[in-house]
A = this chain, B = another copy of it.
Amino acid sequence: MDLTINSQQRCFEGTQGFYSHDSAICGGAMNFAVYQPPQAKDGAKVPMVTFLSGLTCTEENFTAKAGAQRVAAELGLMLLMPDTSPRGCGYPGEDDDYDLGSGAGFYLDATQAPWSARYRMYSYITRELPALIAEHFPVDAGRQGIFGHSMGGHGALTIHLKNPGVYRSVSAFAPVCAPSQCPWGRKAFTAYLGEDETLWEDYDSCALIRRQPSDAKIFIDQGAEDPFLSEQLKPDLLVAACEDAGQHFEFRMQPDYDHSYYFIQTFVEDHLRHHAKTLT
């Protein structure tokens, strides 16, 4: 599979790159960013942690604002930052709402037209993109973790729960914990997956945990002043599901923090150390 290098820059003695490629699964060009730590050289393969971003984001937000490269360089972790959706599909309404279409792929495989042709972020993130990365970067595919923010926290949790042997460590910042039960999730799932809510459970962390908890520890930070906390994120539902199902978890409510990258940059080091504990 071919890869276009859009830029590569030295950062903490490693390499921060932005790339694009033609995705077969998403039916068009897709962008992503990779940070290669300094340990990734002379043929050495390193573990990789994928970060999934939230609504409206691209591959650049976390890359530029989280301060994660410093910690990844210390721990020897590769970071993979995918975009949040296909772009420029030309579907009606694709760019009308911040919470549907462009920038709002929700890390699922859409089954409803027109989205089903290209909005297949679940298969893209779990199959096509890792294969491309393994071909072009010195990654140890047996040591992968996943984390994310908001919509991307939902993505990280569900992708881990459905692939616990591949994504062996998981964490999230302010995740959408129960998309079937919040406005963002219900709107997106209705459009992408249709009206039959039983089919939504396959992309709902709470439902997945109750069905089959994983052996990993789910690590979550949530800002207590996050404006989306009670209406959209609903971590209480995830905590209840974990407790009921015996899922190992650590949930930290962080007083005074909000939903922004100033919150993420404060705690990103704790998250990467959580992943490194399993992966290195």
Contacts and interface: CB of A to CB of B under 8 A. Distances in A.
Contacts of A265: 11-12, 67, 69-70
A78 to B, nearest CB: 16
Given A9-B260, A64-B65, A64-B261, 18 more contacts: A9-B262, A9-B263, A10-B256, A10-B257, A10-B258, A10-B262, A10-B263, A11-B262, A11-B265, A11-B266, A12-B265, A12-B266, A13-B266, A65-B65, A67-B265, A69-B262, A70-B265, A70-B266
A225 interface: yes
A214 interface: no
Interface residues of A, number: 23
Interface in A214-270: 223, 225, 254, 256-258, 260-263, 265-266
Nearest to A13: B266
Contacts of A65: 64-65
A70 B265 CA distance: 8
A184 to B, nearest CB: 22
A58 interface: no
Contacts of A261: 64
Given A10-B256, A10-B257, A256-B10, A262 B67 contact: no
* Majority secondary structure, A binding face: mixed
Contact of A10 (B13, B69, B70, B225): B225
A223 B13 CA distance: 12
Contacts of A9: 257-258, 260, 262-263
Contacts of A169: none
A16 interface: yes
Contacts of A13: 266
A39 to B, nearest CB: 16
Nearest to A73: B266
Nearest to A11: B262
A70 B261 CA distance: 13
Interface in A193-231: 223, 225
A164 B225 CA distance: 42
A103 B69 CA distance: 28
By Cβ-Cβ distance, the 6 closest A-B pairs, closest first, are: A67-B67, A11-B262, A10-B256, A9-B262, A10-B257, A12-B266
Nearest to A262: B11
A257 B64 CA distance: 16
